Amino acid sequence: MQRIYFDHAATTPLDKEAFEKSAPYYTELFGNADSPHFYGRKAQAAVDSSRDKIAELLGAKPSEIYFTSGGTESDNWALTGLAEAKKKEGRNRVLISAIEHHAVLETAKKLAENGFEIGYIPVNGQGRVEINALLALMDERVAVVAVMAANNETGVVQPCKEIANVAHEYGAYYFMDAVQLAPYERICVKDTNADAVSISAHKCYGPKGIGALYIKDKIKIGKLVVGGEQERGMRGGTTAVAQVVAFAHAYEKCVNAAEKTAETMREYKRLFLEELSDLPFVSVNGDIESSPTGVVNLRLDGVENVAFLYAMDLRGVAISAGSACASASVKPSHVLLAMGLTETEVKNSVRFSFGSDNTKEEIVAGAKIAKETAVKIKNA
Ligand code: PLP
């Protein structure tokens, strides 16, 4: 059976070159980057040049980049760190969009337990934050505004520059979770004017368990992990040298190919939707026209998403019924609910996410299988 992978928003395969570049750091160059001897110096040099590379790609200084275990950790650290930093100025409100990843949503809940007031910025029916909705919530008590660059369930991109401007006008910080946009668009922290940005390697054809957090150098946030002097004393723990090397290499390739990848994704999405266009019960959730990502969130009225996911899997096509962490649970997607879908409509929604390793033939073959599967379940 032909296997087709349409779940790149959950994770991507590791780039082979990135894997090969990192392999020596598992075996012969296995040193601890903090050791002063030959092995340690080699490891440290690799970490330094990887940090330089990622900083350059993001338009940041190397001293503004911290390696973390991935997007979740970066999100936790950024939101907590920025909120606590502003608390010293007497600010106690945190605004997050209603469609943030759970890594941000749950961090906000923890902040609420510690005395912060949380405000949720709504989105419109297309899954976008409207600036007026943000303005309606802004005041001088706001410490941080967090709105992701592209949503993981719909691929919808957010007006991040405008959001950053509004946050700054009111003296608040702006945090951008760029985990999903990073493989498709060059993120430039200066252009966006974000105070903190998170990215994750495994969404960019890098390894799992490694990511980065950019924090503007003038901002002083608290330490994340104590007990080691790594990451300039801010995040202790022996550095994952090989993962760092693979991350930098994969991310560089992704950024250099981003424009072309985005073009390919637009073509794939068009092709895919064309194949399904004669099904009257299919519609797209969210504004995918403006999105450079490979995500298509489809509503298949009368087709239960979990049944669809497993039926597709039996036919060799891997998709998702929401985000990866939510697909195993029965909780309906908070993202789609925030866009105004009913619970039934949410339970009839599935996510396809294409990647640069997919071929046109796979898109067409996968669409045909999706069509047959949807019709079969609907008529059952
Ligand atoms: N933020 C967004 C938007 C994501 O899509 C994800 C992963 O799905 C994360 C954060 C968490 O990243 P990681 O899996 O590296 O912890």
**126-139, pLDDT tens digit by residue?**
999 999 999 999 99
Cα 40 to ligand 1 centre (Å): 31
Question: In this predicted structure, what is the pLDDT of residue 31?
Answer: 97
Active-site residue, 160 included:
no
- pLDDT cut 70: percent of the chain above it: 98
Question: pLDDT-based confidence at 322, cuts 50/70/90?
Answer: low
d(CA 271, CA 354): 12
Pick from 7, 8, 68, 101 the residue to mutate for probing ligand 1's pocket: most ligand atoms within 8 Å of its CB.
101
- Site residues for ligand 1, CB cut-off 6 Å: 70-72, 75, 101, 103, 148, 152, 177, 179-180, 200, 202, 211, 323-324
In ligand 1, which atom is closest to the CA atom of 75? 10
Q: Specify the pLDDT at position 323.
A: 55
Nearest CA to ligand 1 atom 10: 71
- State the distance from the centre of ligand 1 to the C-alpha of 152, rounded, in angstroms: 8
As a whole number of angstroms, the distance between CA 76 and CA 74 comes to: 6
> What atom in ligand 1 is closest to the CA of residue 148?
3
Mean residue pLDDT of the chain comes to: 96
Q: How far apart are the first and last CA of the chain?
A: 24
Q: What spacing in Å lies between the alpha carbon of 20 and ligand 1's midpoint?
A: 25
- Distance of CA 359 from the midpoint of ligand 1 (Å): 25
Report which ligand 1 atom has the smallest distance to the Cα of 71.
12
Phi and psi at residue 301, to the nearest 5°: -55, 130
Question: How high is the pLDDT of residue 331?
Answer: 80
Residue 131 contacts residue 82 (beta carbons within 8 Å): no
pLDDT above 80 (res 327): no
